[in-house]
Amino acid sequence: MSQSIEHLCDVLIIGSGAAGLSLALKLADEANVVVLSKGEIREGSTLYAQGGIAAVFDENDSIESHVNDTLKAGDGLCEKETVEYTAEHAKSCLEWLIQQGVPFDQETDNQGQKRFHLTREGGHSHRRILHAADATGRAVQTTLVEQVRQHPNIHLFERYNAVDLITGQKLGLQNNKCHGAYVWNREKEVVEVIKARFVALCSGGASKVYLYTSNPDVSSGDGIAMAWRAGCRVANMEFNQFHPTSLYHPKAPNFLITEAMRGEGAYLTREDGTRFMAEFDDREELAPRDVVARAIDYEMKRSGASCVYLDITHQPKDFIIEHFPTIYAKCLSVGIDITKEAIPVVPAAHYTCGGVVTNQNGKTDLDNLYAIGEVAYTGLHGANRMASNSLLECIVYAHSAAKHILSELDEPMPELNFPAWDESRVTNSDEEVVITHNWHELRLFMWDYVGIVRSTKRLERALRRIELLKQEIHDYYANFRVSNNLLELRNLVQVAELIVKSALSRRESRGLHYTIDYPEREECPTPTYLSPTR
């Protein structure tokens, strides 16, 4: 045993995407903030978000319409109060992003006046998506990173993994509070302690639990797993959104083809060029993602095809290149000219609609612990997230959480002695290859057994494998060196278990959860809550 390196701050933010950086900027004028990032500060799901952010800027649109579209896409499981709160605060939060310098695309109207260009995506009844070409996330992330780097009260800890939250229970106290976190310094390969009055989980989702995903490597469910181990409830973990259109090409794995392309007229075809979406939904290519993903999955399984195709060649070349420059360049780099030929696409795990249960302020079941963005369950997405509501949720709840934290910032930090990290956990191991194997095995059977179409038998088979992996991880975690792969595997297996148990408890098919054993819908659906044993 030895004393860990300790850091002190008002607010520890775990995660450096749109949610974490927005929260940091909203707090930093009045608080000392630490932002923890597993890689470089700019790396994360926000950077790769293509489509845009939904808000009502068109006089022909309305907040009521945004609410109704979201409720419909959520397939009966959205919390209406949350949806209304988000839609009502959308425009002001987007205006805040604009003030920060995010360069959303503009166009000139008939009177020669500049206005924001609004696009449309699946599930939306109006054009209400603000975007920066087809790289909105990159524009948001780059702008926010520039702002946080300039603020003297924001301290960036890059290449740090959060290991576990430090709770009152761990400290032997009779309280239900979060007091900080153990973190692993990847450069020095030592575990450190960060003491904080408040901790915010902004660590994103868990799509890395699947073999094929549009997400970057950091999306390993860390915040969800840590919150669960600390005693927080989770909800709706069975609803994993598979983006319908990820580029199918060996030289460009997991490259996302934005839904905005279908919003601008692209259509899905079989290999012979015939369209098929009209056979599944009257909205055709503009149906919600769960409908489109299942349709593609069905077509691929029916025909034995490796992919389907997304065709936008009927649009003018200049239009395609102007609206989708990133996709055009990426596809061209692997020999596909999207102005002349259709794009081969397959579904890929994309978004975790469930997460850590929070209230309107982003507060979890644990005092002083908040969760914002994809890591959280607010009730906004229900059984299926509507396109371009995700970055919106990050910004809206970063603002509400910041307001709540600032209102309680005067509460003094208690004098606490934190247990030192047990150095026996960082002894060398020659079995890293086994960890890597288990990591790949988990993602493979989750894809095969807990994917777009499920069955009770497949789910039970997955759960048996998870139990074996949990025991192996316990042995390694207790005896061998902490590593990025081990920490992520530990969290991914925990999240996989939550997904499978949630899926087994929902005996119906709804939204993103489709099971062949219960193909019908229940009349009065409720969210799936899981509670840990503290």
What residue type is assigned to position 382 of the chain?
Answer: G
Q: How far apart are CA 49 and CA 391, in angstroms?
A: 8
Residue recorded with tokens 């997405």: 381
| 3 state DSSP class of 108 | strand
CA 259 centroid distance within chain: 16
Tell me the pairing of strands 106-108 and 114-116: antiparallel
Task: Determine which one of 128, 262, 289, 294 is catalytic.
Answer: 289
Tell me the pairing of strands 129-130 and 53-54: antiparallel
DSSP state at residue 373: G
DSSP state at residue 374: G
What residue type is assigned to position 175 of the chain?
Answer: N
What residue type is assigned to position 488 of the chain?
Answer: E
506 is catalytic: no
- Are 91 and 162 in contact by the 8 Å Cβ rule? The answer is no
Q: Which residues pair with 59 in a beta bridge?
A: none
Q: How far apart are CA 71 and CA 383, in angstroms?
A: 10
What residue type is assigned to position 237 of the chain?
Answer: M
Q: Which residues pair with 28 in a beta bridge?
A: none
- Are 357 and 379 in contact by the 8 Å Cβ rule? The answer is no
Q: Which two tokens stand for residue 82?
A: 């949350």
Q: How far apart are CA 374 and CA 389, in angstroms?
A: 11
Environment class of 474 (CB within 10 Å of its CB; exposed 0-12, middle 13-18, buried 19+): exposed
| 3 state DSSP class of 359 | coil
Q: How far apart are CA 67 and CA 410, in angstroms?
A: 36
Q: How far apart are CA 318 and CA 427, in angstroms?
A: 58
Selection from 242, 235, 290, 240 nearest residue 526 by Cα: 235
End-to-end CA distance of the chain: 26
How many helices (H) and strands (E) the chain has is answered by 14, 20
Which positions are annotated as active-site residues?
289
